[in-house]
A and B are shown apart, each in its own frame.
Chain A
């Protein structure tokens, strides 16, 4: 079993900075998925002899770029009354960025087995296999379930109530999928496909991701006119399973991957 780490998981596990000042006040930058992503990295670190974790160059670069962009946006959104104030915040972002990049480097060094992946082959898979596949997929999927309530019913509460009633009675809701994947997601999918093929289908390849382009999609119900859509608590794994059948990799949330790893390597993880 191999676990390919996707960008969102690497970022969540890397971003952490904490400072406590003289008054005892603590300032912290972290992602709310830090705990689960760090737990996954801890397990993969323990399984390094099995080369269970894979972080590709694309994912590493994407994660660095994402952090850079987020920090850049903070600076762009901040008003600096003086050069001194600007200097302080620029120096602060420099410290925080370096700390996070250090953590990211450590995760990559300690966890990842890295396979040679030819760029030409990756781009070929993106263009000739993944894009046509997802074009077909998104033509037949919906982002959320929307029962056909006439637009003349304007009241939001009534629309919500009708949605709840109709959803219980409609026989088929359609397949839920987030929409056409972004180019960076397609590149990571292509790399996961290449890794699956490299192991000649002998290894199960999981992609640990928080992104609904990879993992089973939560079912959202509501009508466009009623505003916010509710989560039903179900997961729709139809597209994820189709992708697994066609390309070999299985997208899953890091929390689920931890469970799978614990079940796959019970002795190894217990003894360490």
Chain B
């Protein structure tokens, strides 16, 4: 049996994670790479906590109590693994191991997605409500940068152009 009165702590976690994301973006002295890593990690925490609460709240209606809680416990392990690295920034303002944060964050993302504790990309995207001009700019710049980074030798025979 899931005690729904306890699920409020997941709401708190999601709200704190959202506030932390804004704090990270406001930290102008943080290098961009560190900012992106921390932002991604904290956003994963927020999305996971939010989806986990929703799924746990309705688990008994779907007769999925034991399996959902087991999965939630597994995902909580990934959350706990990531927490010390995020705490290090929140409490000390340091980002000592960016690669580790990226790795742990990705593990959390994958585990949460596999267990159904994540929002789909389209739902997330709708909630963001990004303007078409910003979207166009982003996609155009990303394609250009990918092209530049892959050092493409395009005008060759065998190209699929």
Contacts and interface: CB of A to CB of B under 8 A. Distances in A.
Interface of A: 7-8, 11-12, 15, 19, 21, 23, 25, 27-33, 35-36, 66-67, 69-78, 83, 85-99, 101-102, 105, 178, 210-212, 215, 217-218, 231, 233-235, 253, 255-256
Given A8-B152, A91-B43, A95-B124, A75 B36 contact: yes
A74 B150 contact: no
Contacts, number: 146
Contact of A29 (B22, B139, B150): B139
Contacts of A67: 146
B25 to A, nearest CB: 5
Interface size class of B (residues with CB under 8 A): 35 or more
A89 B137 CA distance: 10
12 contacts: A8-B152, A30-B143, A31-B150, A70-B142, A86-B25, A87-B25, A88-B128, A91-B124, A92-B128, A95-B121, A210-B154, A218-B153
B125 A72 contact: no
Given A32-B154, A253-B157, A256-B158, 9 more contacts: A8-B150, A21-B135, A66-B150, A73-B148, A77-B145, A83-B22, A89-B130, A98-B121, A210-B154
A132 to B, nearest CB: 24
Q: Which 9 A-B pairs have the closest CB atoms?
A: A36-B160, A253-B158, A70-B145, A218-B156, A212-B153, A74-B141, A73-B145, A70-B146, A255-B158
A87 B22 contact: yes
A218 B149 CA distance: 20
Contacts of A72: 32-33, 36
A74 B145 contact: yes
Interface string B56-88: 000000000000000000000000000000000
Given A33-B160, A99-B121, A253-B158, A74 B138 contact: yes
Interface string B107-122: 0011001000000011
Most central of A19, A23, A105, A215 by chain B CB within 10 Å: A19
Contact of B147 (A31, A76, A215): A31
B150 A21 contact: no
B15 to A, nearest CB: 15
Contacts of B128: 88, 91-92
How would you classify the secondary structure of chain B's contact residues: helix, strand, loop or mixed? helix
A121 B128 CA distance: 49
A69 B151 CA distance: 13
A231 B156 contact: yes
B43 A94 contact: yes
A92 B125 contact: yes
B151 A211 contact: yes
Contact of B149 (A66, A87, A99): A66
B160 A35 contact: yes
B132 to A, nearest CB: 6
Contacts of A12: 150
B124 A74 contact: no
B139 A28 contact: yes
Nearest to B158: A253
B134 interface: yes
Most central of B22, B137, B143, B151 by chain A CB within 10 Å: B151
B150 A210 contact: yes
Most central of B26, B128, B152, B160 by chain A CB within 10 Å: B160
Given A8-B152, A31-B147, A92-B130, A83 B142 contact: no
Contacts of B142: 29, 70-71, 74, 96
A96 B125 CA distance: 10
Nearest to B160: A36
A65 to B, nearest CB: 9
Contacts of B33: 72
B146 A27 contact: no
B129 to A, nearest CB: 8
B161 interface: yes
B137 to A, nearest CB: 7
B159 interface: yes
